[in-house]
Amino acid sequence: MSRLNLFLDAPVELDHEAISFNDSLLAPVPKLGTKKQRQALHCILSNVGRYGRQPLFFHMRNQANPPPQYNPHGYGHKPLVAVIEQLRDNGLLQLQRGTSWGPDDDDGKLSSFMPDLKLVQLCDQLGYSKQSLAQQDHFIELRTKEKDGKGKLLSFETSAYSEHINQLMAEYCGFLNQQRLECDGESLGHIHLIRTYKDWDKSGRLIHGGRAWLPFMSFKPAKRERIKINGEAVASVDYPASVPNVIYLHLTGKRLYPEDPYEVEGLGRRSVKAVMNMMLNNGSQHYAVGAMEKYRKKELTEPENEQLDKEIKAFGSLERIMDAVAERNAPISESFYQGKAKGQYYAWIESNLVFEVARFLATVDVPALTVHDEFIVPQSMEEAVREYRYTVALDEQTYGQAY
């Protein structure tokens, strides 16, 4: 699954009046009365030619066109939606409105369309083939810090870092698309991961966040276990206490692992993990406590909340629990209560490391699907991945902001 790719531009001179859109006199012929609508049809056919009958996600709601950096051919948003709806009315695609895209709703609710076989065949007849389309070279987006679909796309300066990330992601995604990736007998679709950065400090730099998302990442654990890579069952390999260990590495030069930064006497590991996350992403203990109260109402189960209540009673308050967590992790105490931007900067370091490892695994012919700090790999390669995950480091020249 992928978002509608505005970078695609097949080398086809399209005569829309000569296209046989359907064989039925009952189906309306798409009305492409403007140049922008004809360009929009060209974009849609380029995407169908590239991705076949895979669902493609896009915004139905009215919005401004993306900056040229994300839309180099100047496709108009309104014409794209109009042509998609006409193709739907023509019976050439199925349209589904308002599907959630991403765990943080960076894109809000996206709609999707799935081409009919007739439209795929039409693309092939017109010359919109995979072979004629240039490979995707867009794997980065920068957004304002707002959530719930309000984060606007921002232009960013090309740098050695952005060029490195685009090349890394192109190699990694290209390798994954050579594999057979399935779950419950259905393909996971075309893998096109876009790294999303947030402009937390309004600097326009790519130094906050940097994770990527596709629908398979939201599978429940039991369903992720049913993924198969090239017909083989999978295993999960992750980084224990990933972000805290990244911070230890960044601030002290070495990870705390195999010790556990979430191991605090008198507290459950789930509680410590949640509390530390609030300490890393809020600007004061007061705000961290408030964020923790909201988190527990939304995310913790009733038994987990009962356990946390017992822990708060034993320690005296959430503040004292946070003090105990800070004392346990004194070597990185300077990272606490520095605000969301700093927390997302540490998440940036983590995401860089995860994708460097994933790309390295690709170079040794090990396919690995990433889900935050987790690698989903063929079972026969599990032990090798456990070794490889600690052998890759971030190059100082490329990642100068981190080391």
Q: What is the mean pLDDT of residues 25-49?
A: 87
Query: What's the pLDDT at 342?
Result: 95
Residue 210 lies in a domain: no
Q: What is the mean pLDDT of residues 175-193?
A: 94
Contacts of 373 (CB under 8 A, 6+ apart): 238, 239, 242, 243, 350, 354
Bridge partner list, 56 = 2, 113
β-pairing verdict for 209-211 and 227-229: unpaired
Separation between Cα atoms, residue 385 and residue 28, nearest integer Å: 54
Does pLDDT of 403 surpass 50?
Answer: no
Whether the Cβ atoms of residue 52 and residue 46 lie closer than 8 Å to each other = no
Residue 104 lies in a domain: yes
Q: Which of the listed residues 291, 308, 328 is the one where a domain comes to its end? A: 328
pLDDT tens digits, one per residue of 231-273: 999 999 999 999 999 999 999 999 999 999 999 999 999 999 9
Whether the Cβ atoms of residue 106 and residue 147 lie closer than 8 Å to each other = yes
pLDDT tens digits, one per residue of 83-98: 999 999 989 999 998 7
Of the candidates 292, 294, 299, 342, the residue with the CA atom closest to the CA atom of residue 318: 292
Residue 305 lies in a domain: yes
Separation between Cα atoms, residue 162 and residue 170, nearest integer Å: 12
Does pLDDT of 100 surpass 60?
Answer: no
Q: Residue 179 CA to chain centroid, in angstroms?
A: 19
Phi, psi of 91 (to 5 degrees): 85, 15
Which of 123-132, 194-203, 234-243 has the lowest average pLDDT? 123-132
Total structural domains in the chain? 2
Q: Which of the listed residues 134, 155, 176 is the one where a domain comes to its end? A: 134
Query: What's the pLDDT at 283?
Result: 96
For 31, half-sphere exposure in the C-beta direction (CA atoms, 13 angstrom radius) is 3
Q: Provide the domain limits for residue 21.
A: 2-134
Separation between Cα atoms, residue 331 and residue 249, nearest integer Å: 11
Which of the four pLDDT bands, split at 50, 70 and 90, describes residue 102?
Answer: low
Residue in this structure with the two tokens 């995707």, named with its chain if needed = 136
Query: What's the pLDDT at 135?
Result: 61
Does pLDDT of 402 surpass 80?
Answer: no
Percent of the chain beyond pLDDT 70? 94
Question: What sign results for the dihedral spanned by CA atoms 277, 376, 394, 69?
Answer: negative
Percent of the chain beyond pLDDT 90? 72
Average pLDDT for the chain: 90
Whether the Cβ atoms of residue 214 and residue 191 lie closer than 8 Å to each other = yes
What is this structure's pTM?
0.88
Residue 159 lies in a domain: no
Residue 47 lies in a domain: yes
Residue 144 lies in a domain: no
Q: Which of the listed residues 105, 134, 163 is the one where a domain comes to its end? A: 134
Residue 87 lies in a domain: yes
pLDDT tens digits, one per residue of 291-347: 999 999 998 899 999 999 999 999 999 999 999 999 999 999 999 999 999 999 999
Residue 307 lies in a domain: yes
Whether the Cβ atoms of residue 3 and residue 57 lie closer than 8 Å to each other = yes
